[in-house]
Amino acid sequence: MTPPPLIRIEALTRRFETGGGFLKRPRTMMAVQDVSLSIARGEVVGVVGESGCGKSTLARLVLRLLEPTSGRVLLGDSELTALPPAALRAARKRMAMVFQDPYSSLDPRYSLAEVLAEPFVVQRRALPSGAVAAMLAAVGLPETLATSHPHQLSGGQRQRVGIARALALEPEFLVLDEPTASLDVSIQAQIIDLLADLRDRLGLTYLFISHDLGLVRYFCDRIVVMYLGAVVEVLPHADAAPRHPYTRALIDSGFAPDPARRRTIAPLTGEIPSPFALPPGCAFAGRCPRATDRCRTDRPALGGDAAHPVACFHPH
Amino acid sequence: MSGRALPAPLRAFRRPLGAVAGGWLAAVILAALFAPLLTPYDYDIQALKEAYQPASARHWLGTDEFGRDLLTRLIYGARTSLSVSGIAIALSVACGMTLGAAAAWFGGWFDRAVTVVVDLTWSFPEILIALILVAIIGPGTTGTMVAISVAYLAQFTRLTRAQILTLKSETFIEAARSLGAGNAHILFRHLLPNALAPVLVSAMLATGDAIILEATLGFFGLGAQPPVPSWGGMMSAGSALVFKAPWIIIFPGLAVAVTVVAINLFGDALIAELDIRARMRRQV
């Protein structure tokens, strides 16, 4: 018997309405469409997709920083999407987020000690003595930085502070929203190593959002591929052969470090459909080399092999 | 690193212009505070035999048409001018920040209502608003104070609203929310402290304008009523005597001009020290 998952996401959907005004009908944008996903304790699940595919919206829905249009999110036994404000605040101790931009995710007026004390202030808990130094040490920063302000730090150092803040209340579950996207490549590796190390030491569960499939394949146990708000494929492990034409195109577009393994890249042609006006059939049909008439009229559901589901009529 | 330890107003003194301007302002404020200790004469006792005296060892800046010592009246005038404009701006900042922050925070119809009213008053020159209000309230220090504070309300409301709107979308606000922060924590621990510096500097610069406005109202006879001296009122009395006793109008005029220039120079030094020049312009 497998243990129950830590996170259950059920048919999560979020629509945004924009541009409504006097005598003007608002336009509806489908940001996240019917996403279901379970994450086991200790698992690292990656979410990849192009910018604008709804990855970040999904991250915010899972932590209920945004309200879903429909669907549920469960953390253990508690249904996050149904919690009243006070209970939600208490539940926030169990989950945290690391943000993409380490330059705007720290209040410029706060010293690092204040940044790291804020989770305790907000949760009305006493800050244990020596906690700030311990938190800094846990992410590889010297204690002497406690009195510095964010503008005195490098991007990598700031991101370490962001991680330390996320871990302050000893959460079980972390959402990492492109935590390395705005860092230099050499720093990226350090941050990924730190995150992997922290997971091993603290038994954390990650939802790792990224547009970098190579990074996700290196770091994650399972990989969710999103296209225009919907999940098109879930790879059961990093080396699983992609079955969806979009996943294949994503993998092919990555550069192989070994020149002998480089092959000609067949770039995707065609435009991404507007999320304001999704086509009736498969959202990828317009760019897909395998598309048939059926793809343009019917939408394929995520199905097939339960361990490796794919939303495609003509998978590889 | 050591530079961060000092508060910005003190760091502004390290700039040459900031030091000169700040020194003048400190001197004027101290003189206004301790006026009774500094002045050997009374500001309101007339000595007609001594009238129209030019500067001398007895009267450093001469005497006015009633024989009152001009320096004494100038120092007491600083009291009136600084306190009226200072209190008026403080009132205006308090109301403007509350209104602007509330508009940015709540949005919706409240924001639209505040924006419309504020833009309406913004389109009139401050002097016009102040004159209309003094006409309604009646002349005197209280009337002038209220009039000036209303005249500058739009400026602080707009500035605060714009600051809060930009800050609201910063990631550190979302980060605080993800930790479980409530509205009060976000408003009072993140948004307002970050909006404060530009608003306070703009308040300081506005105090310079308010001194001119107060002097203008005083010149029209709408400010502090005689015999209480104000710089504007003294200039008004001296304007009839420009050729007979030019010092009566020149010294209060100089006091207004030098003080306002000093406020602006010190404000510039503060902006440079706080590094908020770009944010000061954001007043949409």
CA distance A264 to chain B (A): 40
Q: Are A220 and A44 in contact (CB under 8 A)?
A: yes
How confident is the model over A157-181, as pLDDT tens digits? 999 999 999 999 999 999 999 998 8
Q: Where are the alpha helices (DSSP H) in chain A?
A: 55-62, 85-91, 112-122, 131-138, 155-167, 185-202, 213-219, 245-253, 293-297
Nearest chain A residue to B173 by CA distance is A105
User: Is residue B169 in some structural domain?
Assistant: no
Which among B166, B170, B179, B276 is the top mutation candidate for probing chain A, defined by the most A β-carbons within 10 Å of its own β-carbon? Answer: B179
Q: What is the CATH number of the domain that holds B89?
A: 1.10.3720
- The pLDDT score that the predictor gives to residue B85 is 93
CA distance B181 to chain A (A): 5
CA distance A96 to chain B (A): 6
Nearest by CB: A65 against B4, B177, B193:
B177
Task: For residue A63, list chain B residues with Cβ-Cβ distance below 8 A.
Answer: 178
**Does A265 score more than 70 pLDDT?**
no
User: Is residue A69 in some structural domain?
Assistant: yes
Question: Domain span at residue B94?
Answer: 7-158+197-281
3-class DSSP state of A175: strand
Q: Which of A1-10, A200-209, B141-150, B203-212 has the lowest mean pLDDT?
A: A1-10
Residues 4-33 (B) with a CB less than 8 A from some CB of A: 4
User: Is residue B40 in some structural domain?
Assistant: yes
More confident residue, A21 or A214: A214
Nearest chain B residue to A152 by CA distance is B1
Nearest chain A residue to B196 by CA distance is A109
User: Is residue A76 in some structural domain?
Assistant: yes
**Does A70 score more than 70 pLDDT?**
yes
Number of A/B CB contacts below 8 angstroms equals: 58
User: Is residue B20 in some structural domain?
Assistant: yes
Q: What is the CATH number of the domain that holds A139?
A: 3.40.50.300
User: Is residue B268 in some structural domain?
Assistant: yes
Q: State the DSSP H helix or E strand holding residue B116, giving kind and residue range, or none if neither.
A: helix B108-122
284 residues of chain B, pLDDT tens digit each: 444 567 888 888 888 898 999 999 999 999 999 988 888 888 887 888 887 888 887 888 888 888 788 888 999 999 999 999 999 999 999 999 999 999 999 989 999 999 999 999 888 998 999 999 999 998 889 999 999 999 999 999 999 999 999 999 999 999 999 999 999 999 999 999 999 988 988 999 999 999 999 999 999 989 888 888 899 999 998 888 889 888 889 999 999 999 999 999 999 898 888 877 667 765 54
Nearest by CB: B180 against A104, A105, A122:
A122
Q: Tell me whether B172 touches chain A (CB under 8 Å).
A: yes
- The pLDDT score that the predictor gives to residue A255 is 63
Nearest by CB: A101 against B171, B179, B194:
B171
φ/ψ of residue B35, rounded to 5: -50, -45
**Does A15 score more than 60 pLDDT?**
yes
Write down the residue that tokens 């610069």 correspond to. B205
Which among A57, A88, A95, A105 is the top mutation candidate for probing chain B, defined by the most B β-carbons within 10 Å of its own β-carbon? Answer: A105
Q: Are A43 and A205 in contact (CB under 8 A)?
A: yes
Whole-structure pTM over 0.80, yes or no? yes
Mean pLDDT (chain A, rounded): 88
- The pLDDT score that the predictor gives to residue B5 is 60
Using an 8 Å CB-CB cutoff, list residues of chain A that contact chain B. Answer: 63, 65, 88-90, 92-93, 96-97, 99-101, 104-109, 118-119, 121-123, 149, 162, 165, 168-169
User: Is residue A303 in some structural domain?
Assistant: no
* Per-residue tokens: B29: 């404020």
Nearest by CB: B176 against A88, A90, A122:
A122
Q: Tell me whether B49 touches chain A (CB under 8 Å).
A: no
How confident is the model over A92-141, as pLDDT tens digits? 999 999 999 888 999 998 999 999 999 999 999 998 888 999 999 999 99
CB B7: neighbour CB atoms within 10 A?
9
Separation in Å, CA A229 to CA A73, A283, A294: 17, 10, 21
Nearest chain B residue to A171 by CA distance is B179
Nearest chain B residue to A174 by CA distance is B178
Nearest chain A residue to B172 by CA distance is A105
For chain A, what is the domain count? 1
Nearest by CB: B180 against A100, A105, A123:
A123
CB distance A92–B179 less than 8 Å?
Answer: yes
Q: Is the ipTM of this complex over 0.90?
A: no
For chain B, what is the domain count? 1
Question: Domain span at residue A276?
Answer: 7-19+27-297
Burial of B64 (0-12, 13-18, 19+ CB in 10 A): buried
- The pLDDT score that the predictor gives to residue B53 is 82
User: Is residue B13 in some structural domain?
Assistant: yes
Nearest chain A residue to B177 by CA distance is A65
User: Is residue A316 in some structural domain?
Assistant: no
Cα within 13 Å of Cα(A61), Cβ side: 29
Q: Are A273 and A283 in contact (CB under 8 A)?
A: yes
* Per-residue tokens: B266: 């010190």
Quickly list DSSP for A64-118. TSS--SEEEEEETTEEGGG--HHHHHHHGGGEEEE-S-TTTSS-TT--HHHHHHH
Nearest CA among A24, A59, A301 for reference residue A178: A59
CB distance A122–B174 less than 8 Å?
Answer: no
Task: For residue B180, list chain A residues with Cβ-Cβ distance below 8 A.
Answer: 88-90, 92-93, 119, 122-123
Amino acid making up residue B235 = M
Which among B2, B168, B171, B173 is the top mutation candidate for probing chain A, defined by the most A β-carbons within 10 Å of its own β-carbon? Answer: B171
- The pLDDT score that the predictor gives to residue A174 is 95
Burial of B109 (0-12, 13-18, 19+ CB in 10 A): exposed
User: Is residue A312 in some structural domain?
Assistant: no
CB distance A90–B180 less than 8 Å?
Answer: yes
Burial letters A108-129, b for 16+ CB under 10 A, else e: eebbbbbbbbbbbebbeeeeee
User: Is residue B176 in some structural domain?
Assistant: no
User: Is residue B75 in some structural domain?
Assistant: yes
3-class DSSP state of A277: coil
CB distance A65–B170 less than 8 Å?
Answer: no
- The pLDDT score that the predictor gives to residue B113 is 95
Q: Are B197 and B158 in contact (CB under 8 A)?
A: no
**Does A156 score more than 70 pLDDT?**
yes
Task: For residue A123, list chain B residues with Cβ-Cβ distance below 8 A.
Answer: 179-180
Q: Are B191 and B167 in contact (CB under 8 A)?
A: yes
Nearest chain A residue to B169 by CA distance is A104
